[in-house]
Amino acid sequence: MSVSDRAENVRVTTLENGLRVVSETMPGLATVAMGIWSGAGSRHERAEEQGLAHLLEHMAFKGTTRRNALQIAEEIEAVGGEVNAETNTEYTAYYARTLGPDMPLAVDILTDILADPAFDMTELAREKEVILQEIGSYEDTPDEVVFDMVMETAFAGAPIGRRILGTPKTVRAQNPKTMRGFMDRTYRLPSMVVSAAGAIDHDALIHEVGSRLASFSHDQASEPELALYTGGDSRRVKALEQAHLVFGFDAPSWRDPDHYAMHVFSNILGGGMSSRLFQEVREKRGLCYEIYSFFSPFSDSGFFAIYGGTGEMQLTDYTPLVLDTLCDATKSVTMAEVSRAKAQMKMSLLTALESPGRRAEQMARHMLAYGRVLPRDEMVSMIDAITIDDVCRVASRSLQAPPTIAAIGPIKPLMSIDAMVARLGTPVPKMN
């Protein structure tokens, strides 16, 4: 094994099989947050596998050959701990929180559920029904549906644009064979990370992890299909009280240094109560209750968007105002706005460093994205270095690609895609 990066209290060990183990000892804490992150998420699924990564997450705690579902819950809760999991576009995480001395139990449970899942047919059938109910719940929530619509439209035909939950048809089609096949293909040790923060001893963690995951392949997993941004227009007229709208644009990836400037621009435009969208659209005009912008970077692409909800009668005023505010912000950012956004970014960053759960996640994401944990000073320096020109440049670059529009609700008054393109001065998207 090789050990590197002892900056701050962070240690990283790469085992001979390719598995990376990272930890940060946080003095004064009595608990440890740890987990196993696999660089396999919904974008790694094949068309017929949609929802499989999320189904695996649901099945994680439903039993192994050593423990049934109740035993898993009883063992971790007997020491006051907790376990959970989540599925993302690019990774799946299985994590636990315990007192420091109970870390070995957390490692044992998490490695057991990954290396030796039972995939019991009764549990699988029951969990499929739970996910079908979850899908139904999402369909009843328009402000959730519109985000699925915008991703499916922005990355038309690409796996990264598919719904993480899958469809009822693809969820029902999964079985132990397809689940094991997906894990064999995508859960490879070089693309997995064990991360822990809090009351943790790195050498003890290495000892506990040992060869517990040795059954996984030591080979690199294949790269997922490229995330090709297309833009487009997706609308669904539905009898609702509000129209829910997302205007989206191409944006930098995690690996693009400009992603920090994009975060700053998103914050300035719609990141809080002092943001331009909040002030112009809600405070001055009263055209909505909720409006914000967000930036989601991926490994090879990114997506920047504005979400808001408004009434049918307000649509004709709402849309032009949002688009004009966006356009104006790309060329009139002020030093005060940049300074305020950078301060908020640093506050968010430093807050994450004080939480063992968020820190463990941050380190795992860094390892998956960059192959190393970015030191705090380096991240702060990159934020501090952002200039007004950087912010305007990266924002203008996003508007050089065709826009994406997703809308659901009473949206008949919504202006056409051609009218939006003309107002934005962006290319016309190719309609699918």
Q: What is the CA radius of gyration of the chain?
A: 23
Q: How far apart are the C-alpha atoms of 356 and 26, rounded to whole Å?
A: 8
Catalytic-labelled residue, pool 57, 123, 208, 361:
57
> Would residue 75 show up in a list of annotated catalytic residues for this protein?
no
365 CB neighbour count, 10 Å cutoff: 20
Cα separations (Å) of 409 from 78, 115, 309? 48, 45, 10
CA angle at residue 93 from 89 to 95, to 5 degrees? Answer: 155
Catalytic residues: 57
